[in-house]
Amino acid sequence: MPSFRFLTSAVLACATLFANITHAEDPPSAVGPLMKLFQSGRLPAERQGAVVEMICNRGNEHDLRVVFDKVVAADGLPAELRPKAIGWLTDAAVTRKVKPAGELAALETLVVGPAAAKQPALQRGALRLAAVWKDAHITPALQKLALDNDTSVELRRAAIDGLITIADPRAQDTLKHLAEQGPTLGIRMQAIAGLVGFDIAAAARFASSVLTVAKPTDDSGPMMDAFFSRKDGSDQLAAAIEKHPPSPDVAKVALRYMYSVGRSDAALSGVLGKIAGIAADPAPPTPEEVGKLVDDVIAKGNAARGERIFRRKDLSCMKCHSVSRAGGQVGPELSAVGGSSPVDYIVNSILNPNLAVKEQYVTKVFSLDSGKVVTGVVIDRDEVRVNVRDVTGSTITIPTADIEEEAEGKSLMPQGLTKFLTHDELLDLARFISELGKPGPYAVYQGKTIQRWRMLTQPTTELTAEVPHLENFRQHVLGSEPSAWVPVYALVPGTLPLEELRPGNDPTVLILKGEFDVRTAGKVAVNVISTETFQAWIDAEPAPPGQPIVVELGPGRHAVTLRVEVSAKSQPQLRIELSAPDDSSAKFEIVGGQ
């Protein structure tokens, strides 16, 4: 398949040739030849995406106007290209500060127009674009979405983000109303997160009030993130919480979350730790203490128990680190670390993560002119933007023009995280990491089993009540939003422990999928090994009977999806092994990552 660069070069060459035989007068533009080709009606459909992206990346306000008009028109661009074009227009506004010339009110039709709900990806993109353009004309539409209880959580979040970014005075009233009287704690927390951008002191008061009625199971993470993203935000939150403290369990969960996203801010850590009854952060160990711990790790540590500790949500190790190519991409990949690093290095890295941070994982702290603070590892940068990977693994694009100050930060793994561990748990964790990459059950991954899975967080009754027919599978699985899935990870040897995914010991139905990239077409054998009853699909088709499942597949990304009826039995398990049969020329790679 031709590369994108080759296709773009070919399109640009064709456009230049066409420009040489036309005599139309156009405003000066860096993409003049492309514009002529785009507007001529002679552009092949398969080249439209490359051309529209180039226009948005380099065009002036008149060029972007042409793209905008085609996006707004129902038949202006192919349906699958319209959300992409909205994204490219958004990028032009963020990184180059360029937006289409003229009146832009027509964007509202993509946010709340009659067809908006039928095209959710386009609707969300249009909402984000309106926010980036700071179009106050659309504020009433955003308020309507934010206040309507029928609005989806994702769309409501986008509406609140839009109100924050546009900074219309009407938005502050809406956010305060939702922060105090929102129908659910989740909505109140979202509104408080938005209010941080307007009135951080009021937001802190609302946050402390919400936490006093929250349960440990309520997710306060996004709300806390909003305070972490502002200068002095955590200090303001700490002061408010000290006056109106939550329950010890809620404080403990908040403290765990704070550490899981790489924060150990002294004031907030101190207040939450005092309420939760957790001691202050310990000092880094002395060489003598490290030596004693190393002896104990070797003599008493248990790697199997340590792997379960490594997977614990409250520690969030897998949010930053990957093992067997499955997990976060923020910190180093750990598959071979035990085979190349002595135990004392591993113990020191756990207890004092700032001791020796490798250059590619040094964090940067960017203070922006908006008052926001972004912390993460720089992926790449140029004169226009800086791309940063934060502790969640998300990529944040920062326009260089918005940066007021840049400083070197600490490790995203905060010191003191181990205070949530007992002494024996620390020994087990260190032993597990020290075994990674050594011969045996923790040897370096050979690429035969699915290690990173996706799990559908809220499967519909059409999926759980019985094995779905093909139309329901296409609608509720293949048609689901990417945000409806969360990553789950197999153990290092390749087994997915299903008991971690069910509620207690209650039977449940899980929808899981693993992905793999076929580089050379041919037959691929998919062997599902499970203690539980399951139904499998390969891409959009039910799997043929028999084990292993053997299917002929072409190049590209493919998915194996399973509907698993998890019973109440002890240690339910699942494992998928992929291989190429002897008579197959197929070559493939299992997809890992976060």
Q: Which helix (H) or strand (E) holds 463?
A: helix 461-464
Q: How far apart are CA 36 and CA 517, in angstroms?
A: 38
Note whether 321 and 396 are same-domain residues: no
Q: Is the per-residue pLDDT at 108 higher than 70?
A: yes
Q: What is the mean pLDDT of residues 470-486?
A: 86
Same domain, 399 and 508: no
Minimum mean pLDDT range among 406-410, 546-550, 578-582, 584-588: 406-410
Q: Cβ atoms within 10 A of the Cβ of 542, count?
A: 15
Per-residue pLDDT at 359: 67
CATH of the domain at 387: 2.30.30.100
Is-contact 33 16, C-beta < 8 A? yes
pLDDT at site 579 = 93
Angle formed at CA 85 by CA 82 and CA 86, multiple of 5 degrees: 90
CATH at residue 92: 1.25.10.10
Give the pLDDT confidence of 5-42 residue by residue, as tens digits. Answer: 444 444 444 444 443 333 344 457 888 888 888 888 88
CATH number at residue 324: 1.10.760.10
Give me the pLDDT at residue 111, please.
Answer: 83
Q: Are 518 and 555 in contact (CB under 8 A)?
A: yes
- State how far the Cα of 112 lies from the Cα of 119, in Å rounded to an integer: 11
pLDDT digits (tens, 9 = 90+) for 136-162: 888 888 888 888 878 777 777 778 778
Domain assignment of residue 549, given as a range: 452-590
Residue 484 tokens, joined: 């409806």
**Lowest-confidence region among 101-115, 175-189, 541-555:** 101-115
Residue 166 lies in a domain: yes
Global confidence as pTM: 0.68
Q: What is the pLDDT of residue 21?
A: 37
Residues 350 and 425 in one domain: yes
Whether residue 131 is contained in a domain is answered as yes
Paired tokens of 508: 């449940």
% residues pLDDT > 70 (the chain):
93
Shared domain check, 30 and 90: yes
- Tell whether 308 and 174 lie within a shared domain: no
SS3 of 523-549: the string is EEEEEEEECCEEEEEECCEECCCCCCE
Q: Out of 218, 235, 266, pick the residue that ends a domain.
A: 218
pLDDT at position 235, please? 94
- pLDDT top residue among 22 and 120: 120
- pLDDT for 225 beyond 80: yes
Where is average pLDDT lowest: 23-32, 216-225, 419-428, 554-563? Answer: 23-32
CA-based Rg of the chain, rounded to a whole angstrom?
A: 26
Q: What is the pLDDT of residue 268?
A: 93
Burial degree of 508 (CB within 10 A; 0-12, 13-18, 19+)? middle
Decide if 255 is inside a domain.
no
The answer to whether residues 115 and 163 belong to one domain is yes
Query: Taking 90 as the threshold, does the pLDDT of residue 434 lie above it?
Result: yes
Cβ 227 vs Cβ 195: under 8 Å: no
Of 256, 251, 392, 268, residue with least CA distance to 315: 256
Note whether 109 and 68 are same-domain residues. yes
Judgement on whether residues 33 and 138 belong to the same structural domain of the protein: yes
483 and 580 in a single domain? The answer is yes
Residue range 199-221: average pLDDT? 93
User: Which H/E stretch holds residue 556?
Assistant: strand 556-566
Q: What is residue 285's predicted lDDT score, i.e. its pLDDT?
A: 82
- 76 — pLDDT class (breaks 50, 70, 90): confident
Mean pLDDT of 51-65: 92
Please state which of the ranges 170-179, 292-301, 422-431, 559-568 shows the lowest mean pLDDT: 170-179
Percent of the chain residues topping a pLDDT of 90? 39
Band (pLDDT 50/70/90 cuts) for residue 4 is very low
Residue 361 has pLDDT above 80, yes or no: no
In a domain, 440, yes or no: no
Peptide bond between residue 548 and the one before it cis (omega within 30 degrees of 0): yes
Boundary-marking domain end, from 184, 218, 252: 218
The per-residue pLDDT of the chain, averaged, comes to 85
Give domain status of residue 249, yes or no: no
DSSP 370: T
> Quick check: 97 and 369 in contact, CB under 8 A?
no
Dihedral, CA of residue 582, residue 588, residue 593 and residue 594, to nearest 10: -90
Closest CA to 411 of 489, 370, 350, 340: 350
Where is pLDDT greater, at 417 or 505?
A: 505
Which among 345, 221, 328 has a CA at the least distance from the CA of 291? Answer: 345
What tokens appear for 294 in the block?
Answer: 């190393």
Q: Tell me how crowded residue 440 is: count the other CB atoms within 10 A of its CB.
A: 9
pLDDT at 14: 45
pLDDT at 239 over 90: yes
Give 584's pLDDT tier (boundaries 50, 70, 90): very high
Give the CA distances from residue 430 to residues 300, 311, 401, 412, in Å, rounded to whole numbers and listed in that order. Answer: 11, 13, 44, 19
Query: 325 versus 577: which is more confidently predicted?
Result: 577
Kindly state whether residues 384 and 480 are assigned to the same domain: no
Q: Kindly tell me if the per-residue pLDDT of 192 is higher than 90.
A: yes
Backbone angles phi, psi at 477, to 5 degrees: -110, -65
541 inside domain: yes
- Whether the CB-CB separation of 64 and 98 falls below 8 Å is answered with yes
The residue-averaged pLDDT of 285-308 equals 92
The total of structural domains in the chain comes to 4
CA dist 234 and 269 (Å) reads: 9
CATH number, domain containing residue 463: 2.60.120
Q: Would you say residue 250 lies in a domain?
A: no
Residue 23 is predicted with a pLDDT of 38
Specify if 400 maps to a domain.
yes
Q: Kindly state whether residues 372 and 430 are assigned to the same domain.
A: no
pLDDT at residue 169, rounded to an integer: 80
Helix (H, G, I), strand (E, B) or coil at 114: coil
Q: Which two tokens stand for residue 53?
A: 């992206």
Report phi then psi at 55, rounded to 5. Answer: -60, -45
Beta carbons of 315 and 307 less than 8 angstroms apart: no
Q: Of 175, 200, 218, which residue sits at a domain end? A: 218
Q: Is the dihedral of CA 80, 81, 86, 92 positive or negative?
A: positive
62 and 119 housed in the same domain:
yes
